[in-house]
């Protein structure tokens, strides 16, 4: 039977090494995946989005609410939302100071076709973007027969336009009649670093707090039980983080490895800190840890619903030759969500016993 120190040392090694392995694993097939299986890679990212959505709403929020002192439990949701708005604020501050380096409106829009980007030029007509094929130079059907078929219609609305735009977006007689009129799917700006950094910060903070729970545990058997509970979902989340990082072709392997290493060190650092401050006043730990947990959960929710899922939907919604892509993504998100939910519920039941 392992002693208390040996069980915690074992937890450090297993969580640290396993997190690095599963986080780096997606980088091994990323190069081929981007070219040969773009929809599969997008589905994996959506699966990770479902996992992160369940982690924030089903795992972190109830755990944080249960750990809060009874007098402050009514503030749990507010603290959780504070984490959401905190990263939202940081995102907008970054765009305020660095927004001139990239465009957000339709002037330099890009649309996807056959898995590749094609630039479009936009006119200030209710924010509707038209590709080069739509310009008058190409409208002569007698000399340009290959443009007889109407080009793919790509509505993209300016953020500042009013809701009345929705009732005018189909006024253009060149729009295909079979297309439903709804808001355009424009990919969120990927030039701002808040998505990857925010995701890494939220997951690392959550991992540190989970490691802290292991480090503060006074029973060796309980430490091993917590190790199984934490590693089961930490490895899934670590793999999803790796997939999210490889989705950006500009991320080098060294940068990818550094991010994963930071994520892996989170749990290790938490365990070490817990071992060093095992005599921390219970009144402090019962308040500070749940608050940090809630802030991390809200941050994770923002990255999931405002960055990952909208981006992946936007990348495929304009590809009319692959209309099933949206359903594939929805299925992947649902599978990820329910997998993480089942893991969380099962592990909570095991801990209660």
182-209: pLDDT as tens digits: 445 555 554 455 667 778 888 888 888 8
Q: For helices 282-303 and 38-54, what crossing angle results, to 10°?
A: 150
- Dihedral of CA 3/5/11/14: which sign? negative
67-92: pLDDT as tens digits: 898 888 999 999 999 999 998 998 88
42-69: pLDDT as tens digits: 888 899 889 889 988 998 899 889 889 8
What region does 203 belong to: left with phi over 0, alpha with psi -120 to 50, or beta?
alpha
- Give the pLDDT of residue 130: 42
Q: Read off the pTM.
A: 0.65
Task: Tell me how far apart the alpha carbons of residues 132 and 134 are, in angstroms, rounded to a whole number.
Answer: 5
Between strands 116-119 and 121-122, the pairing is unpaired
Region 30-51: mean pLDDT is: 78
308-337: pLDDT as tens digits: 889 888 877 766 567 788 899 999 999 999
- Give the pLDDT of residue 179: 47
C-beta atoms surrounding 187 within 10 Å: 18
Higher pLDDT, 310 or 97: 310
Region 287-314: mean pLDDT is: 87
Q: Kindly state the tokens that stand for 284.
A: 């402090």
Would you say 339 and 232 are in contact if contact means Cβ atoms under 8 Å apart? no
Using 50, 70 and 90 to split pLDDT, how confident is the model at 305?
A: very high
Higher pLDDT, 98 or 298: 298
- Give the pLDDT of residue 259: 92
Region 293-304: mean pLDDT is: 88
Higher pLDDT, 336 or 126: 336
- Give the pLDDT of residue 300: 87
Region 263-275: mean pLDDT is: 90
- Give the pLDDT of residue 110: 47
Higher pLDDT, 300 or 38: 300
Task: Tell me how far apart the alpha carbons of residues 260 and 221 are, in angstroms, rounded to a whole number.
Answer: 29
SS3 144: coil
Strands (E), the chain: 110-113, 116-119, 121-122, 128-130, 154-155
Task: Tell me how far apart the alpha carbons of residues 264 and 120 are, in angstroms, rounded to a whole number.
Answer: 41
Comparing CA positions, the residue from 193, 207, 209, 210 lying closest to residue 303 is 193
Whether 221 has a pLDDT exceeding 60, the answer reads yes
- Give the pLDDT of residue 79: 94
Whether 247 has a pLDDT exceeding 50, the answer reads yes
Strands (E), 153-309: 154-155
- Give the pLDDT of residue 30: 66
- Give the pLDDT of residue 142: 45
With a pLDDT cut of 90, the percent of the chain lying above it is 17
DSSP string, 153-174: PEE---TTS-GGGGGTTT-STT
């Amino acid at each position: 039977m392992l002693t208390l120190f040996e069980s915690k040392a074992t937890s450090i090694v297993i969580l640290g090494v396993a997190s690095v392995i599963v986080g780096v694993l997606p980088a091994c097939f990323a190069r081929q995946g981007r070219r040969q299986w773009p929809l599969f890679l997008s589905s994996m990212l959506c699966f990770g989005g479902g996992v992160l959505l369940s982690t924030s709403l089903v795992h972190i929020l109830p755990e944080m609410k249960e750990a809060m002192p009874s007098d402050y439990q009514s503030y749990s949701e507010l603290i959780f939302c504070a984490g959401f708005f905190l990263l939202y604020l940081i995102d907008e501050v970054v765009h305020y100071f660095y927004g001139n380096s990239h465009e957000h409106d339709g002037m330099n829009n890009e649309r996807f076709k056959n898995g590749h980007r094609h630039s479009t030029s936009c006119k200030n007509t209710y924010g509707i973007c038209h590709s080069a094929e739509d310009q008058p130079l190409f409208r002569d059907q007698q000399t340009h027969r290959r443009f007889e078929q109407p080009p793919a219609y790509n509505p993209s609305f300016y953020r500042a336009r009013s809701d009345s735009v929705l009732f005018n977006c189909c006024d253009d007689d060149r729009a295909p009649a079979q297309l439903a009129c709804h808001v355009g799917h424009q990919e969120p700006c990927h030039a701002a670093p808040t998505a990857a950094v925010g995701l890494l910060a939220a997951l690392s903070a959550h991992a540190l707090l989970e490691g802290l729970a292991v480090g503060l545990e006074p029973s060796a058997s309980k430490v091993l039980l917590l190790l199984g509970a934490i590693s089961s979902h930490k490895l899934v989340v670590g793999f999803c983080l790796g997939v999210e990082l490889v989705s950006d072709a500009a991320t080098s392997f060294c940068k990818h490895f550094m991010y994963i290493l930071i994520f892996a060190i989170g749990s290790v650092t938490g365990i070490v800190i817990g071992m060093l401050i095992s005599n921390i006043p219970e009144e402090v730990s019962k308040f500070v840890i749940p608050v940090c947990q809630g802030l991390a959960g809200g941050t994770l929710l923002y990255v999931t619903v405002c960055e990952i899922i909208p981006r992946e939907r936007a990348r495929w919604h304009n590809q009319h030759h692959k209309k099933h892509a949206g359903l594939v993504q929805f299925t992947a998100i649902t599978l990820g969500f329910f997998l993480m939910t089942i893991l969380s519920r099962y592990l909570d039941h095991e801990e209660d016993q």
